[in-house]
Amino acid sequence: MSDLSDLKVQVCAANNALRTEQLVTLTWGNVSGINAERDRVVIKPSGVDYDALTPGNMVVVDLDGNVIEGNLRPSSDTPTHVLLYKAFNTIGGITHTHSPYATMFAQARIDLPCFGTTHADHFDGPVPVTRPLTAEEVERAYEAETGTVIIDCFRDLGLNPDAVPGVLVAGHAPFAWGPTAMVSVHNAVALEACARMALGTMQLNADAMLLEDYVLNKHHQRKHGPNAYYGQTKK
Amino acid sequence: MSDLSDLKVQVCAANNALRTEQLVTLTWGNVSGINAERDRVVIKPSGVDYDALTPGNMVVVDLDGNVIEGNLRPSSDTPTHVLLYKAFNTIGGITHTHSPYATMFAQARIDLPCFGTTHADHFDGPVPVTRPLTAEEVERAYEAETGTVIIDCFRDLGLNPDAVPGVLVAGHAPFAWGPTAMVSVHNAVALEACARMALGTMQLNADAMLLEDYVLNKHHQRKHGPNAYYGQTKK
Amino acid sequence: MSDLSDLKVQVCAANNALRTEQLVTLTWGNVSGINAERDRVVIKPSGVDYDALTPGNMVVVDLDGNVIEGNLRPSSDTPTHVLLYKAFNTIGGITHTHSPYATMFAQARIDLPCFGTTHADHFDGPVPVTRPLTAEEVERAYEAETGTVIIDCFRDLGLNPDAVPGVLVAGHAPFAWGPTAMVSVHNAVALEACARMALGTMQLNADAMLLEDYVLNKHHQRKHGPNAYYGQTKK
Amino acid sequence: MSDLSDLKVQVCAANNALRTEQLVTLTWGNVSGINAERDRVVIKPSGVDYDALTPGNMVVVDLDGNVIEGNLRPSSDTPTHVLLYKAFNTIGGITHTHSPYATMFAQARIDLPCFGTTHADHFDGPVPVTRPLTAEEVERAYEAETGTVIIDCFRDLGLNPDAVPGVLVAGHAPFAWGPTAMVSVHNAVALEACARMALGTMQLNADAMLLEDYVLNKHHQRKHGPNAYYGQTKK
């Protein structure tokens, strides 16, 4: 097994960034990261204040959710994270928050439309809402089934999780992901900002038009495509 | 009588948390706590800046609202707090604020609906609005009667104050409570966040559906039920 | 002439409080105070950053707006302040801001209704919007005529400026006042908070009922009446 | 060529002000300035955190957008900035952000109306939305064509960029400008504040009247006209 100390530092820093970026109230949010071998996930301990987090108290679990290292219980959302890592095999980090504007769309059960380039820079199209869980799913394994409805949603819509790195769980809240734990936090920040601006856009103009597809593609490609020219290094 | 010094420290810290959690404007909010014997209530002095609060200037009253210790006048809302402690005999702390979003619902006189799991994590169903006070009640004993309408509201609706630890007083503002002073502040934080997100949910979708009962129950039980598994210790 | 050094300290602190209370953007706000003899007004210099304010650079003017002391130009709104002091002869401080929610009501040209006790604690009834200035008034003496429309508004509505310590100037922004410069800032804070909550109340319930008169009176009297019992000293 | 060290200090400080004034999320904003000879533009490097900016890592480009000095890639929006400097030959600084409220109007594709004096103090009339770019323009030279639609917009409407120092790019976000880099940031702050207040004004009163022309002119002239009397020096 590879040494996980770097990953613990990254995941701890990403959890702290939830607070810096004002994505969380109380302890309502958690970030995880997976190692290169994709057999160990490092995740925030459940219900612990962000102030009290250190790389040393991050919890290590395997891909069945069993605790491998750590004295604290992992986030209660761990089964969701683990399932997403297994299904979306290019992602390296996951962020779950109840950030207010993204949660409003999740509660209203409305896909987040792409009204502008801010959205296009991060999400290559609308951010979908999942179907609700059934009573049987909630009873059986609530957190794991939350992962399942996300995976079903992406499969049914034919979405690439690298192109649309986030989702709104119906009646619950957003999940976002990315190549690293910190990038997953940045995608959660972008999701929240786009949700806030979409609400205002819809209030100003109930018939607001979606961003033209050719602008959407251009913006996403200049940041994420093979010839990306945003930032200091090509991705 | 038991030593109240620990309770004074807790109540002072909880009052300071009102500001840290951005629940208060000027001096519009107060927190109290009750001792284990349930014969003494420690409460914020009236109209004093949060910066100036110390455990030593907290005011101690008995359950008739008489000042037992302290050189300052207690919060003008003391009669409301005292009545709630007498009626809701499992609660250990009470928070009253005029936090903006919860107050919007109190002013609009609309029960706060449960649209999502954030709400379900803290309140086992809608947070009700009280009936308005009558002119006679206001004249007779305004603050005590405010306690009475809260107690009437919970009795008439058959609500358990441990399951729904908050209320919206019509035309006024929220009260929240909990097993300790600090938990009552956390419930006030949750009430404010849920009110904010409910307003946006209703703006996005005037026909937004309520959270399914089976998800509401699941979320509340995983945090508060006999087999709770959120956080580090069972409650 | 009395020594104005205490008043300069108070007015400087009140101007700094505009920023602490998040009432101002850039340099869009100013506070003044008047001395006990009511012949000298101390006011913020025009267009100066709050960081750069000291008691020593406050400007002293007489009641015709002539600069008596100070090397800087006084706030361009000085003629408004001076007229208000002459007409409302019990007030000791005035705050003018473009705080966003109060300005929304001023721009929408809608009186701020009293929906709850937060409002009643500070304003004994709705906060009115003035009539617009005429083209002739703007041409003649814009800032002085702004004072005149405020004074006309209170006279025409029969309002007592001590009971309703604020106003919304149509198409412009709020003014608030009080017995001291700092209390005028607190009334501006309350006006902003009440405007924010009123907007949300109206969004939740287009037919939201006004606060019952008997609660309005009770709340205002418990803070401001001859038998006030809010805070630590009777007023 | 003139020494650009002063300009680098100014542009670096203006980029840092984006964060202080809460105009930016992540790295979504950039400020540039032009030298007196109007042959060199200093601009933020692309995708670099505001915390990491120093005068020394600002990028210098010529008016064709070629990098003249600096080891980092310039903002991807550089072609837009350069075109604006060539077309608007009195401006000295340009700010581009995705500030939320201005972006809501850009996404809703609605001109920002002038409802009050806050707006009039900075913009001598409505702030226009550009036409959308065509697919051909996006394909050919996206960032340069963004500059072109802004310039077309001002020419077609007969607007003076000194009188209306900002624009909303349809489906994208605002640009603001001014005589210096820091004044362009202040105009971006004013644009955001006015957009926020305009949204609320329209929510309160769907038929809200525009500010009377004679007040608009008066406010703009008292700050920017030949006899300006706002602030400490005539402009």
* DSSP conformation letters of B78-122: HHHHHHHHHHSTT--EEEEE--HHHHHHHHHT--B---SHHHHHH
Residue in the structure block whose two tokens are 């005011």? B59
Cα separation, C27 vs C15, in Å, equals 10
Residues in B touching C222 (Cβ below 8 Å): 76, 142
- Give the domain ranges of chain D: 3-224
- Disruptive mutation site among C19, C51, C104 for chain D (greatest number of D CBs within 10 Å): C104
Residue B226 has pLDDT above 90, yes or no: no
A44 shares contact with chain D (CB less than 8 Å): no
pLDDT score for D226: 85
D189 shares contact with chain C (CB less than 8 Å): yes
Cα separation, B207 vs C198, in Å, equals 23
The beta-carbon neighbor of D171 closest among A117, A198, A205 is A117
Backbone angles phi, psi at C177, to 5 degrees: -145, 180
Query: Which DSSP string corresponds to D7-60?
Result: HHHHHHHHHHHHHHTT--STT-EEEEEE-TTSS-EEEPBTT--GGG--GGG-EE
Burial class (CB within 10 angstroms; exposed 0-12, middle 13-18, buried 19+) of B92: buried
The beta-carbon neighbor of C133 closest among D190, D215, D230 is D215
Tell which residue, A62, A59, A50, has the closest CA to residue A14. A50
Query: Three-class SS of residue A192?
Result: helix
Tell which residue, A25, A51, A177, has the closest CA to residue A103. A25
pLDDT score for B2: 56
Residue B1 has pLDDT above 70, yes or no: no
* Chain A residue with minimum CA distance to B216: A171
Burial class (CB within 10 angstroms; exposed 0-12, middle 13-18, buried 19+) of B57: middle
C224 shares contact with chain B (CB less than 8 Å): no
- For residue A232, name the pLDDT band (cuts at 50, 70, 90): confident
Cα separation, B158 vs C72, in Å, equals 66
Burial readout A172-211 (b: 16 or more C-beta within 10 A, e: otherwise)? bbbbbbbebbbbbbbbbbbbbbbbbbbbbbbbbbeebeeb
Residue D136 has pLDDT above 70, yes or no: yes
Count Cβ–Cβ pairs < 8 Å, chain A vs chain B: 88
The residues, any chain, with a CB within 8 Å of residue A45's CB and separated by 6 or more, are A53, A57, A58, A59, A70, A72, A73, A74, A75, B232
The beta-carbon neighbor of A203 closest among B203, B212, B232 is B203
pLDDT score for C1: 46
Residue A28 has pLDDT above 60, yes or no: yes
- Disruptive mutation site among D98, D104, D196, D203 for chain A (greatest number of A CBs within 10 Å): D104
Over chain C, what is the mean pLDDT? 95
Burial class (CB within 10 angstroms; exposed 0-12, middle 13-18, buried 19+) of D19: middle
Parallel/antiparallel/unpaired status of strands A41-43 and A29-34: antiparallel
pLDDT score for B234: 44
Parallel/antiparallel/unpaired status of strands B41-43 and B67-69: unpaired
Structure tokens at A200: 């205002």
B54 shares contact with chain A (CB less than 8 Å): no
- For residue B111, name the pLDDT band (cuts at 50, 70, 90): very high
Cα separation, C169 vs A192, in Å, equals 35
Residues in D touching C106 (Cβ below 8 Å): 116
CB contact under 8 A, D98 and A193: yes
The beta-carbon neighbor of B117 closest among A48, A105, A172 is A172
Task: Give the strand order in the sheet containing D166-168.
Answer: D67-69, D59-61, D41-43, D29-34, D93-97, D174-178, D166-168
CB contact under 8 A, D231 and C46: yes
pLDDT in tens, B29-61: 999 999 999 999 999 999 899 999 999 999 999
Q: Interior CA angle at A93 toward A92 and A97, to 5°? A: 160
Residue B223 to chain C, least CA–CA distance (Å): 30
Tell which residue, C127, C99, C107, has the closest CA to residue C21. C99
Query: Which DSSP string corresponds to A86-129?
Result: HHSTT--EEEEE--HHHHHHHHHT--B---SHHHHHH-SSPBPB
Backbone angles phi, psi at A96, to 5 degrees: -120, 125
Q: Which of A6, A62, A213, A230 is catalytic?
A: A230
Structure tokens at C164: 């309703």
pLDDT score for A230: 78
CB contact under 8 A, A117 and D28: no
Residue A222 to chain B, least CA–CA distance (Å): 31
Averaged pLDDT for residues A117-142: 96
pLDDT in tens, C73-129: 999 999 999 999 999 999 999 999 999 999 999 999 999 999 999 999 999 999 999
Alpha helices for chain C (secondary structure H): 5-20, 78-87, 100-108, 117-122, 135-157, 181-204, 213-224
Residues in D touching C48 (Cβ below 8 Å): 232
Could you tell me which CATH class the domain C3-224 is placed in?
alpha beta
Averaged pLDDT for residues D157-167: 98
Kind plus residue range of the DSSP H or E element containing D6 = helix D5-20
pLDDT in tens, B121-165: 999 999 999 999 999 999 998 999 999 999 999 999 999 999 999
Residues in D touching C142 (Cβ below 8 Å): 218, 222
C105 shares contact with chain D (CB less than 8 Å): yes
Structure tokens at C87: 């007409």
Tell which residue, A7, A3, A21, A2, has the closest CA to residue A181. A7
Residue A222 to chain D, least CA–CA distance (Å): 9
pLDDT score for C23: 97
- For residue D223, name the pLDDT band (cuts at 50, 70, 90): confident
Q: Which of A50, A111, A121, A142 is catalytic?
A: A121
- Give the largest Cα separation in chain B, rounded: 54
Q: In one letter, which amino acid is A127?
A: V
Parallel/antiparallel/unpaired status of strands C41-43 and C29-34: antiparallel
pLDDT in tens, B9-20: 999 999 999 999
Cα separation, C189 vs C21, in Å, equals 7
pLDDT score for C203: 98
Residue C76 to chain B, least CA–CA distance (Å): 29
pLDDT in tens, A176-215: 999 999 999 999 999 999 999 999 999 999 999 999 999 9
Cα separation, B142 vs D122, in Å, equals 49
pLDDT in tens, B58-110: 999 999 999 999 999 999 999 999 999 999 999 999 999 999 999 999 999 99
Burial class (CB within 10 angstroms; exposed 0-12, middle 13-18, buried 19+) of A226: exposed
A227 shares contact with chain D (CB less than 8 Å): no
Residue D132 has pLDDT above 70, yes or no: yes
Q: Interior CA angle at B119 toward B118 and B123, to 5°? A: 135
Query: Three-class SS of residue B183?
Result: helix
Tell me if B179 sits within 8 A of B93, measured CB to CB. yes
The residues, any chain, with a CB within 8 Å of residue A156's CB and separated by 6 or more, are none
Cα separation, A143 vs A138, in Å, equals 8
Tell which residue, D70, D7, D59, has the closest CA to residue D33. D7
pLDDT in tens, D69-112: 999 999 999 999 999 999 999 999 999 999 999 999 999 999 99
Residue in the structure block whose two tokens are 């006015």? D194
Cβ within 8 Å of C, D 146-165: none
Strand partners, C67: C61
pLDDT in tens, A61-94: 999 999 999 999 999 999 999 999 999 999 999 9
φ/ψ region of B114 (left if φ > 0, alpha if ψ in -120 to 50, else beta) reads beta
pLDDT in tens, C173-204: 999 999 999 999 999 999 999 999 999 999 99
Query: Three-class SS of residue A186?
Result: helix
Tell me if C60 sits within 8 A of C68, measured CB to CB. yes
Structure tokens at B74: 């207690």
pLDDT score for A106: 98
Averaged pLDDT for residues C212-225: 90
- For residue A130, name the pLDDT band (cuts at 50, 70, 90): very high
- Disruptive mutation site among D19, D25, D107, D140 for chain A (greatest number of A CBs within 10 Å): D107
Residue B208 to chain A, least CA–CA distance (Å): 5
The residues, any chain, with a CB within 8 Å of residue A158's CB and separated by 6 or more, are none
B108 shares contact with chain C (CB less than 8 Å): yes
The beta-carbon neighbor of D104 closest among A189, A204, A211 is A204
Cα separation, B202 vs C65, in Å, equals 51
Q: Rg (Cα) of chain B, in Å, rounded?
A: 17
Residue in the structure block whose two tokens are 């709705």? C126
Residue D157 has pLDDT above 60, yes or no: yes
CB contact under 8 A, D212 and C108: no
Cα separation, D215 vs C145, in Å, equals 12
- CA atoms B21, B25, B27, B28: torsion sign: negative
pLDDT score for A221: 87
CB contact under 8 A, D116 and C106: yes
Structure tokens at A85: 């890592």
pLDDT score for D231: 80
pLDDT score for A224: 86
Would you name the residues of D annotated as active-site residues? 121, 230
